[in-house]
Amino acid sequence: MITTIAEIGQAHEGSLGMLHAYIDAVAKTGVTSIKFQTHIAEAESSLHEPFRVKFSKQDETRFDYWKRMEFTVEGWCEIGTHCKEVGLEFISSPFSNMAVDVLEEAGVERYKIGSGEVNNFLLLEKIATTGKPVILSSGMSSFDEIDASVAFLKSKGIEYSILQCTTSYPTKPENYGLNVINELKKRYGVKVGYSDHSGKVATGISAITLGAEILEFHVVFNKQMFGPDVSSSLTMDQVSELVAGVNDISIAMSNPVDKRDNSKYADLKNIFEKSLAINKALPKGHVLQFGDLEAKKPKGYGLDATLFQDVIGKSLTRDMEQWEFLNSEDMS
């Protein structure tokens, strides 16, 4: 089964009520999992952190922005409970050790390591103590850096998977890196997926077709909304479309077609394939030429159309009317 992860990120804009509305909306799309980001400004940032994109008119600093994205421990516990109530796997990306403590209290089921945290071994050590499975996002990491993080997780006996990701919002087609999906599979031999920031349904479908077993994508209620990831996100209608497509592709990939055996098409072949016929009235003794022949449905009423070369040059043994089917006994 393909794991589909709807990433809320900061789409809630710091509103706990909005976040719960996202949980209910996502649950109706058919995704398997929902992912959040758990921020504690004092633990992860400082006033020296620059804005990635200066988009907010209400936050003086990036630190202020992260502060506005925080929720209390009680709020996170409510989030975890709500996810379970609607049947969504509860995943979050912590950005500090303190955030891991909060998520443990809230009952998080799986940890996602954001692209900028892949080599934060302090955080990886903290997460490893929980024993819970981990998803690594490879966005800003080289193979050497991923190797180091994978070795660390393996040394701790932690189950992990890896996502190909391009840290660009929105990601342009030339930067999708879909080729990396199978490179990661070959290199690490674990479940590999794709974290999409293109804001397009087709990208996720392509990733699944190319072997991704996990698909993560940002979601938003409306692409006119405020926030840093809106242009990289899918609407709920797009998510529903994507999930339906992913499920169809998953079924298709699990049921390969054997083109060596077409026996199940026997009845259809009799309907659609054709028999040889003559296209004009011809007298007995006429020597058949290519221009005398036509192929007409259905198959089986005359010689197969594939045999037309065998009848050219043969003589008719009887007078024949236009459009009659041509059989072996009609020629000598």
Instruction: Print the SS3 string covering 109-137.
Output: CEEEECHHHCCCHHHHHHHHCCCCCEEEE
Least confident range of 43-57, 151-165, 288-302: 43-57
Tell me the pTM: 0.85
> Of 257, 264, 234, 263, whose CA–CA distance to 246 is shortest?
234
Residue with tokens 């950005």: 95
Structure confidence at residue 226 (pLDDT): 73
Q: Note the pLDDT tens digit of each residue in 195-217.
A: 999 999 999 999 999 999 999 99
Q: Note the pLDDT tens digit of each residue in 63-79.
A: 988 999 999 999 999 99
Q: Note the pLDDT tens digit of each residue in 9-44.
A: 999 999 999 999 999 999 999 999 999 999 999 999
Q: Where are the extended beta strands (E) located within 197-308?
A: 214-219, 233-234, 275-278, 293-296
- CA triplet 156, 160, 215: central angle to 5 degrees? 165
Q: Map out the domains of the chain with their CATH numbers.
A: 3-253 (3.20.20.70), 263-330 (3.90.1210.10)
Give yes or no for residue 274 having a pLDDT over 90.
yes
- The band of 53, judged by pLDDT with boundaries at 50, 70 and 90, is low
- Asked if residue 36 lies in contact with residue 64, where contact means CB atoms within 8 angstroms, the answer is no
